[in-house]
Structure 1
């Protein structure tokens, strides 16, 4: 992990540059480094993997952490600080660089390297709400449970396009596909598997909000979404399967949301997780800080 320090000023920043950002847009990374270094004392860290990323944050000392990366880098940092129980006392800053920036936009972070870097230097901390699940994972933007099979398809496509820790193109090598095909022909055929759920078909889930049933297994649904709301609540929207006329969505707000049923996958921010048979999300008010433009 390389580290670079610049001349001292009144503010001290720890600039952690995600490897995906370095590979995808080196010019924006360079601009961010130049603008930040001109306005503050910066220590630049170039982690090569998740362990070095975590170690850089753990050794930040009194420096204010600045992430140069995409939505996954931000959720990774918030998750690490949450599990270390250091999230409430550590305000994060973000210069969005990379392929997945929809979460950054929704949070109000400028997506241009210059504007985002100036917001780091001149902005102010805003307290943000989030969701914490029963496996200690965090959600900054939204949980979405799509139709059966949709999350699995997108996850597989992402794994083909990216390798470990976001290395692009790992699944696109012709020789690798050839080897995989050869292995499949050599592996003995086992007993037949149960037919998978239809791609994009409805799912049957039980959704409870603060212990109250919003929808049960007998009513198939097209999708479920959970987002952090005001006042330490979570906003839930369930879209039932339409029969004839379009069915109105079921809406609710509460502090805890539990989804259960047949094993399902879900998308939390930029990541697909599961399959799980049940998951509970709890809303946390003002749980983390993010530097935004004044």
Structure 2
């Protein structure tokens, strides 16, 4: 890890969602950062201004104040500019969706996060880059698309139901009267019954070809429950395929490699905080040490 000097000039880019949802934590983060370094604070109103601020950072070290999506947006912008190699990012976690930043080792809380920016060190991390120039910082999943009878609300997969409820809770956490109205609306709106799986395993694809470094791990004749891909160690990806179990539970298929290609019928995938697709094929390649993140010194 490369040590970061607290005297560096910082460009503090505060995500608009963080300002709206938790202004007090934003204020605390600004105060701690300003007390320890020379800062320029930027308050973008949307993604375009967010990207413009990063492009015009000059020699300042960028610090993102926001949640998982804000960090992902910053990495995506720098990747498209081909400036990730020479730029160490920092993030002060503010918001409700922080599972990604926690998994990367960033301390949560405005004070702890800001202190890590000032006193931490740069760690180079692997990145998954797909064939459309998209990036994945953590893990990606292709969930089972067939709806199980009685699962969730009957309107989507278990993961989608849980994500929708979590986002609704986050959006109304500071407005109890909105939660009350939301609960009333839910009692008035009928829940759609679960759709029966189609003959080929569901409304979406259940048969995918997964290739790791050109070697087929599972082919179209093997229905799958889901696929997950995450950066591993030493510049390789960890791939897990869960075959559809019939009777006894099927053991997952595991593989490691630098390139992962998934193809088949149109499928969607969840990468970090975003859902993408549908696509017929997608290839992800591991780029070792492609981006730097400031983390606490162990």
TM-score normalised by length of structure 2: 0.81
Match of 1:56 in 2: 53
SS in 1 for 2:234: helix
- Mark the CA change 1:247 to 1:97 in structure 2 (over 3 Å): closer, same or farther: same
Q: Please, which runs of 5 or more residues in structure 2 have no aligned partner?
A: 1-5, 147-155, 174-178, 186-197
| d(CA) in 1 for partners of 2:159, 2:237 | 27
Count of aligned pairs:
263
1:68 matched to 2:90? The reply is no
| 1:42 maps to 2:48 | no
Q: What do the CA deviations read for 1:14-66 (whole angstroms, capped 9, x no partner)?
A: 00000111111111101100000000011000000010000000000000000
1:97 corresponds to which residue?
Answer: 94
Match of 2:268 among 265, 270, 278: 265
Aligned partner of 2:160 among 135, 151, 154: 154
- Which among 256, 259, 263 is matched to residue 256 of structure 1? 259
CA contact (8 A) 1:10 1:41 kept: yes
Partner SS state of residue 95, structure 1 = strand
Residue 132 of structure 1, aligned match among 129, 134, 137:
129
**Taking structure 1 as reference, are residues 236 and 157 closer, same or farther at Cα in structure 2, changes over 3 Å only?**
closer
**Alpha-carbon distance in 1 for matches of 2:238, 2:204:** 24
Mapped partners of 2:53, 2:162: distance in 1: 30
Does structure 2 conserve the Cα–Cα contact (< 8 Å) formed by 1:20 and 1:167? no
Choose which of 238, 242, 247 in structure 2 pairs with 1:239: 242
Distance 1:259 1:151, change over 3 A: farther
Q: Which position in structure 2 is the counterpart of 1:26?
A: 23
* Deviation by residue 1:41-98 (Cα, 9 ceiling, x = unmatched): 1100000001000000000000000000000011111011011100010000000111
Give 1:206's aligned residue. 209
Report the secondary structure of 2:269's partner residue: strand
**Partner of residue 120, structure 1:** 117
Matched position secondary structure for 1:75: helix
Superposition TM-score, scaled by structure 1 size: 0.82
Partner Cα distance (1:242, 1:222) in 2: 8
Tell me the SS of whatever aligns to 2:132: coil
Between the aligned partners of 2:200 and 2:94, the Cα distance in structure 1 is 37
Write out the 4+ residue segments of structure 1 that deviate beyond 4 Å after TM superposition: 149-153, 155-159, 166-169, 195-202
Residue matched to 2:278: 275
Following the alignment from structure 1 to structure 2, what is the Cα–Cα distance between the partners of residues 259 and 202? 12
| Residue 72 of structure 2 is aligned to residue 83 of structure 1 | no
Aligned residue number for residue 291 of structure 2: 288
1:13 aligns with 2:10: yes
Following superposition, the deviation at residue 140 of structure 1 comes to 0.4
Once the 2 structures are TM-superposed, how far is the Cα of residue 198 of structure 1 from its aligned partner? 7.0
Does the C-alpha gap of structure 1 residues 263 and 155 become closer, same or farther in structure 2, counting only changes over 3 Å? farther
Q: Quote how far apart the aligned CAs of 1:99 are.
A: 1.6
